[in-house]
Structure formats: structure tokens, C-alpha cells
Structure 1
């Protein structure tokens, strides 16, 4: 088996946020895969709730400074990094003053979802892509965890289809027992527009209708090469949609070491 390069895009990685199924999987799966000899890179948003001093984050100047335009607004991309010493693993953080520094996580202190989570998600994913390009690191597999990363399959397969870093990458999406209550802004399709994502892709997103959790995950499945059931219980409608699309589907596995074994085979299979 070839020693593949795996890019993990996650909405949360423990210990930088509270323990959840997503944050734990996003913490321990990359470590286990790295210990099998594969190269990994792991990215998450730099939420305002993350204490930079306690977690020893520092800015990577050579990777920061780019501006990403979303919905006609210029947004500065800041890249930070920290190390999980016990895992010998680095975690990269996507940061921006408006989208992340002055926010809690995906919800505010009153547990209300932010109205612009759609824009925050687009910025996060495109920020990861642009950082990987600057690193000149070519992933074989891009593995997405959590709904906040669910636009990545579309963005990778359409927005970066001709980019040497991503044109041969396979995309895997893990499905979890999660959701969100506020559907994305009705302008989400137009906000996705940038070089590589044109009218046909915009119309495809618009055809999905209201971008609630179910439709967002179906959109992710449309552009994924493999699906992983990340929780024991996942919305049956979404799982059936993946099955009907005849996409490779890896069943739920609770043991992280067994999951890593299964994922190694899965990465090489798709």
C-alpha cells in the first residue's frame, strides 16, 4: 500500500474545544493514521473561545496575509498553529477577526447559531485550500468532519478541480449525529461563487432549495468519493441518500484503533 497524504478538515478538534464525538475522532484518528506511516495535516477554525496562550498557538506569518472575497467582502486570512505534544501532531487554525476572533464557536454565549455561519464555513474551507497550496503539500485524501466542513467536497471538486494540489484528491465525508437549526442564507449559492465555481455549480446549489442540515449533507455526498458513518446514529434519510448514490460507505466503528485500520483500507480503496 502506498503511504498516502491525508488532509483532515474538521469543525472541532479536542483539546481545543470540548469533547464531542467529532472533536475526539478528529483528534485521535489523525494520530492513529500518522502512526501507520501516512502524512497528515489537520485544520480547524480558530474560534474566539480558544485560549491562544494556554494552548500555545502562534501565527505562521509566511502563510497568513491573503484576502478571500466572500459576498463582495474582503476577508483577511490568518493562519495559526499549535502542537499536540503527546501525539507529535500539529493542528493548523484558520482565523479571521470578523468570522472567528470575536465569536465563540458555531454558536454564541446564548447558544444561538450565528446568522453568517454559511460565510464562516466558506471562508474556513477556502482558507484551508489556500494554505495547503502555500505549503505545496499535495493530499491524496481530504477527509471532512462536521457540517461546518460539508461545503468542502463541492469547493474541492469544482473550485479547485484544475489546481495541481487538489485535482487528483479523493474526498471523504464523515456523517455524525448532529444538526443545526438555522438554514443557510438564501444567497448561499451566490456566496460560493469564485474562480472555478461558475453558473452551473451555482444553479446546482440553488436547485437543492432551502439549505438546511439535510440538504447540506446531501450536497456534500454528491461530491464525495467515500462516506463514513461517524456516529452510531445518523439521520437515516442522509445514509439512504448515500447508499442510493452507490458511494463507498464505511459503517460506524466505535474503537479508534479499529477505525484507523478500517480507514487505512478505505483510503486505499476509494
Structure 2
């Protein structure tokens, strides 16, 4: 099949979060299965791509015309890359905003991107399926099924929409519809209206052929008020078209047997290199060498409430009375950065923090820590817990989203399981799970068993790509059967 990905970021050209990783790995995995794949991205200021300009498209914004160019970026590992170029909208310092604030014209920026994607799919690279990601590409299915409803060829192309994080809606004032040339009829409960505003994500939920999200558990969770961010009713209405497909991992980059960023390579058959990695990690974080005899807990994360740092703040004083050491790498909310600095001052022999995101250090934490802590309030998929399994760094996680799908609780009696989980979102439950892990750590044979179980797991992208390919086929057949309804 010919599959067109439409997204606001993708490696190796642009990145702010995990979406960019998916946009690199999933297309590549689909190509390996024999599909033809193109990726369409905005051309940002720092997009480094050998580019060949194509003719401009004409995009109608109400009474205004805009002329973004389609840039052919060529092929990389057999995936074709194209870019929407409009310097006024995309030649900026950051992708979505600066100083913690969104750009005020984000609705117009990504509306143009979506219109360009539709015209591109009609006139330049004609796909069998369009796969959109997050609110920035949400207008593709909305406009395709409304303003292009009479275009027979366009109505044969199904749109898959993936929700990477339900918390980001693309929420704008009602007047935006007029600015972007979208019909006022979209301002209704069954389309894009959301408490008096226009909700891009809601539009995609209503108009896409199929919805996916990045783990099976998260697909269940977003149908509840706790995790649905006000859209749980819409998701429940589309539950028969919702599929949870777990993100994969690029083991070419994240495997201790191949990793060039860690102090020593190691494998399930020979874990000796992991001790060298632990010693190196302690040195890099400035903890005393004798801490090598303590269980070392690693954290790599954005410091935010969503990631469970309010729980860490609650249990840290009790946890640091245990015979443990902790290293934390990340940045985010100032209150948590301050908390870690204060803990490091109070417990200089046990606690160290680096407020930054550094890919090399992230690899060192995965390789050198004994345990990896992820007590998230919600976690659509999560990747670090999967990396940790491969590195023999035992995850301690909350049973939510992808964390629940990927980590099996260890049972010392049977020797089965890959980590430690807790259910309730409270400090006592988190501390209980950590102490359970510490008890097993003190039993060397049991600890080696849980490490081996985790290192044997395979969450490569191939399995996920096969699931997506099956869904594309189902969606295409549904759109192209003789009695298919051509538009919503």
C-alpha cells in the first residue's frame, strides 16, 4: 500500500517529544514490510534536509489565498520525505511556541499545513491511506470529509488518526473557523464545538475512519472521565473504531550489546559490563564510589505532575532513609527541579540530579541504574520502561497506560514477571512497590531472574507495524466497498 504520514514533527528533522521518534521508526518499519511510505512535515527553521522545490500549492483561507510550497526532501532509508514550506508560519525559533507559551497563530499555521496535506495527497503523492498524528494534523480528516465531500477520489482514501496524548486538544476561539476558511457548520457538538471553543482534536475524533492510540490500556483509559480530558464521551461513541497499538522501540539505538554511549557493553549472558556502567554513572553524577554497593534508582523524565513527581516529592524523605542511591535526569516544573536540588544537598551521599535533557546521559542512566522509576499519573505509552527492560534495569511503575501493558509484576514464587507495579495513585503505594523491589534486589538469584525476564522481551517496531498494516487494509476496504458511505 501507499501510506502517507502527516505530522508536525519527525526525526531526524524536528523533535520536541516522542511523536518525532514514532515518525522515524514506524514508516521505516512499514517500508521493511513492503509498503511505500511518505512523510509530510512542516519545514521549520532548523530542518536540515537536502530539498528540491516543487510548485506552490494554492490554499484558500476564507477570502485570502496562501501559497505554501511543497519541498521534496528525497528518501532516507527508503522513506520519502516532503515538507510544507511557508516562512511566515514555520521559519521560527521553536516549533509550537516560546517561553512556555504557544504561538498565537498556531490554529492558522497548522490549518494551512493540513490543507496543504490534502492538496498534496490529491495532486502530488496519491496515497491509499493517510495516517495523521495529534491535533496539529487533525483538520485533515475534518476538511477531507466536509469541504472535499464531493471529491469522489478523495472519499476513497481512509484517514487513520493516532492520539499520542489526550491532554493536547488544539483549542481555539470560535472565530478561528472563519480565519481558516472552515465552514461554520463545524461549530456543533457532533463536530468541533467544545464548551464554546473550537477543538481540533475533537474534530479528528469525529471525522477519522479509525482512531488509534499508543497502548491498549490507554485506549481503555481515554474512554473514562479520569483520562479523557473532557472528550471521553466522544471516544466512547467511536469505541468500535478505536484500536490500541503499542509503540515499538528502536533496538539499534537502545541495546546494551550495541550501545556506544555507555561505559561497557553487556548482554543477558554476560552482565559484567553493567557493573562498569554503574560505577561510571556514579562518577558522572558525583556520587561516592562506595554507593556501588547500594541499589541505584534511576529517573529520566520531564519533571511534571503527569509523570508522578508529586508522589516522588511525598515519599523522597522516607525513601532516602533506606540504603539506596538515586540519580535523576530531566527538566520541567521549577518546583520539582528545586526539590531535587534540595534533596541532593540534604543527602549528598545518596542523591544527585542533573537538570537537563542529555541523550548520552539518558543512555548512561538506563545502563548503570539497578531500577528505573516511572510513577506516572497517566502514561499513554512510555518508552523508558521498555528501554529499561532491555538494559536489565528493573522498572518500578504505576499500572497505567503503556506502563501497565509492558510491565508484568514479578512473582518471586514462580520467577515470572519483569518489574514492580502499584495501582493506587498515592505515595504509600509507590513506596510499597519500591520496597518490594529492594527486597528482591537483596536476593541475588531472584534479581538476576527478573533482569533476565526483562532482557528477553521484544518490543521492536516490526510487530506494531504489522498491526498498523492490518488496520490500513481494513480501513481501505471499508472506504472502498461498493456500498461505502463517502463522507461523514
Q: Is the structural similarity TM-score above 0.5?
A: yes
Q: State which of 142, 148, 151 in structure 2 corresponds to 1:160.
A: 148
Deviations 1:121-156 (A, max 9, x none): 110011112122222x43221111121011211011
Query: 1:140 & 1:182 partners in 2: Cα distance?
Result: 27
Structure 1 residues 239 and 250: CA distance shift in structure 2, 3 A = farther
Deviations 1:152-172 (A, max 9, x none): 110111122232441111111
Aligned residue-pair number: 253
Deviations 1:36-61 (A, max 9, x none): 222222101111232xxxx3331323
**How far off its partner does 1:181 sit?**
8.5
Could you say what secondary structure the match of 1:166 adopts?
Answer: helix
Aligned to 2:402: none
Could you say what secondary structure the match of 1:93 adopts?
Answer: strand
Cα pair 1:176 1:229 within 8 Å, conserved: yes
Query: 2:171 & 2:84 partners in 1: Cα distance?
Result: 23
Deviations 1:103-136 (A, max 9, x none): 521113x23211111111110011112122222x
Could you say what secondary structure the match of 2:246 adopts?
Answer: coil
Query: 1:128 & 1:181 partners in 2: Cα distance?
Result: 20
Could you say what secondary structure the match of 2:97 adopts?
Answer: coil
Matched, 1:200 2:219: no
Could you say what secondary structure the match of 2:59 adopts?
Answer: strand
Deviates further, 38-47 or 160-169:
160-169
5 Å-filtered alignment, 1:93-172, equals 93-108=83-98, 110-135=99-124, 137-172=125-160
Structure 1 residues 182 and 167: CA distance shift in structure 2, 3 A = closer
Could you say what secondary structure the match of 1:172 adopts?
Answer: strand
Aligned to 2:79: 89
Structure 1 residues 210 and 35: CA distance shift in structure 2, 3 A = farther
Aligned to 1:17: 14
Structure 1 residues 83 and 65: CA distance shift in structure 2, 3 A = closer
Query: 2:26 & 2:232 partners in 1: Cα distance?
Result: 22
Query: 2:134 & 2:40 partners in 1: Cα distance?
Result: 12
**How far off its partner does 1:211 sit?**
3.8
What residue ranges of structure 2 are gaps of 5+ in the alignment? 249-460, 476-488
Deviates further, 180-189 or 242-251:
180-189
5 Å-filtered alignment, 1:1-270, equals 4-18=1-15, 20-50=17-47, 55-61=48-54, 64-83=55-74, 85=76, 87-108=77-98, 110-135=99-124, 137-177=125-165, 179-180=167-168, 183-193=171-181, 198-201=183-186, 207-211=193-197, 215-230=199-214, 233=218, 235=222, 236-237=227-228, 238=231, 241-255=234-248, 256-270=461-475
**Root mean square deviation of aligned Cα:** 2.6
Cα pair 1:49 1:105 within 8 Å, conserved: no
Bigger-Rg structure (1/2): 2
Deviations 1:183-227 (A, max 9, x none): 32331222343xxx6453455656434447xx4322211101111
Query: 1:247 & 1:74 partners in 2: Cα distance?
Result: 39
Calculate the TM-score normalised by the size of structure 1. 0.82
Could you say what secondary structure the match of 1:242 adopts?
Answer: helix
Query: 1:119 & 1:247 partners in 2: Cα distance?
Result: 32
Query: 2:27 & 2:192 partners in 1: Cα distance?
Result: 34
Query: 1:181 & 1:246 partners in 2: Cα distance?
Result: 19
Calculate the TM-score normalised by the size of structure 2. 0.47
What residue ranges of structure 1 are gaps of 5+ in the alignment? none
